[in-house]
Amino acid sequence: MSMRAYDRLPVIRYNECYMLPALENAGETYAVRLAEGFDLQY
């Protein structure tokens, strides 16, 4: 069985709705930490 492009649409929608915003927020947090320094105390 080969997978066609339209079989993958739910995965693409999931990535756009969930993963991309999550990665964007993680990138913003990382950029702030780079600018202000990492607090390594827990």
Q: So where are the chain's domains?
A: 5-33
Q: What pLDDT is stored for residue 26 in this prediction? A: 93
Q: What pLDDT is stored for residue 27 in this prediction? A: 93
- Give the rounded distance of the alpha carbon of 14 from its chain centre: 11
- Burial grade of 5 (CB within 10 A; 0-12, 13-18, 19 or more): exposed
Distance CA 14, CA 29 (A): 22
Q: How far is CA 28 from CA 15, 23, 25, 38, in A?
A: 18, 9, 5, 14
Tens-digit pLDDT string for the chain (42 aa): 576 776 677 777 777 788 888 999 999 999 998 888 887 765
